[in-house]
Structure 1
Amino acid sequence: MDKFSDMEMFASIVKHQGLAAAGRELGLSPATMTARLQALEERYGIKLLNRSTRHISLTDSGDLYHKACLEILDSVRGTENLLQKGVKEVKGSLKISAPKDVGKQYILPILSEFVERYPEVTPYLYLNDHLSNIAESGIDVVIRYGELADSNLILRRLASSRRVLCASPEYLVKKGTPLTPQDLAGHDCLAMIRSHEELKTWHFQLNEQRKSVTVVPKRFSDDGEVIRRWALEGAGIALKSLIDVQVDINERRLVTVLNGYMKNFDTSTSMSSTNLNVVYMSRQYQPKRIRLFLDFLFEKFETELNIPKARG
Structure 2
Amino acid sequence: MESPWLIEERSNGATRSPIVDLDIALFVAVVERDGIQNAARALDLPRSTVSKRLSRLEKRLGVVLLNRNSRTLSLTPVGRIYYEHGKRALSCLNEAENAVQALKNEPSGTLRVSCAVMIGINAIVPRLPAFHRAYPKIRLDLSLSDKFEDLVASGFDMAIRFGTMSDSSLIARKVMSARRIVCASPKYLELYGAPEKPDDLHRHNCLNLSTLGQMTNVWTFQDGDRVRHLEVRGNFTTDSGAAHYAAILAGVGIGRVTQLRAMPDLEEGRLVRLLEAHDLASPTPIYAVMPGNRNVIPAVRAFMDFVSQIES
Q: How does 1:213-224 map to 2 (within 5 A)?
A: 213-217=230-234, 218-223=236-241
Q: Return the match for 2:301 from 250, 266, 291.
A: 291
Match of 2:190 in 1: 173
Contact kept? 2:206, 2:232, Cα under 8 Å? yes
Hey, what's the Cα distance between the residues in 1 that align with 2:263 and 2:133?
A: 27
How far did residue 174 of structure 1 move?
A: 1.8
How far did residue 131 of structure 1 move?
A: 4.2
Name the SS for the 2:207 alignment partner. strand
121-130 vs 247-256, greater mean Cα deviation: 121-130
Q: TM-score, normalised by structure 1?
A: 0.56
Deviation string 1:136-173 (CA, Å, 9 cap, x unpaired) is 44433322333222222222222345321101111112
In structure 2, stretches of 5+ residues that fail to align are: 1-99
Q: Percent identity?
A: 28
Match of 1:97 in 2: 115
How far did residue 124 of structure 1 move?
A: 2.8
User: How many matched pairs?
Assistant: 211
Match of 1:108 in 2: 125
Contact kept? 1:167, 1:256, Cα under 8 Å? yes
Name the SS for the 2:277 alignment partner. coil
Report the CA distance shift for 1:114/1:242 in structure 2 as closer, same or farther (over 3 A).
closer
Q: How does 1:94-173 map to 2 (within 5 A)?
A: 94-100=112-118, 102-115=119-132, 121-173=138-190
Q: TM-score, normalised by structure 2?
A: 0.56
Name the SS for the 1:292 alignment partner. helix
Contact kept? 1:91, 1:121, Cα under 8 Å? yes
* Greater relative contact order, per chain length (Cα 8 Å cut-off, separation 6+): 1
167-176 vs 133-142, greater mean Cα deviation: 133-142
Contact kept? 1:167, 1:236, Cα under 8 Å? yes
Q: Which has the larger radius of gyration?
A: 2
How far did residue 206 of structure 1 move?
A: 0.9
Q: Return the match for 2:224 from 207, 211, 228.
A: 207
Match of 2:292 in 1: 282
Deviation string 1:189-226 (CA, Å, 9 cap, x unpaired) is 23333444222211222113443222234122343x44
Asked whether 1:248 is paired with 2:258, we answer no
In structure 1, stretches of 5+ residues that fail to align are: 1-81, 264-269
Hey, what's the Cα distance between the residues in 1 that align with 2:240 and 2:146?
A: 7
How far did residue 112 of structure 1 move?
A: 4.6
2:303 aligned partner, one-letter code: F
TM-align CA RMSD: 3.3
Hey, what's the Cα distance between the residues in 2 that align with 1:206 and 1:89?
A: 46
Hey, what's the Cα distance between the residues in 2 that align with 1:111 and 1:283?
A: 28
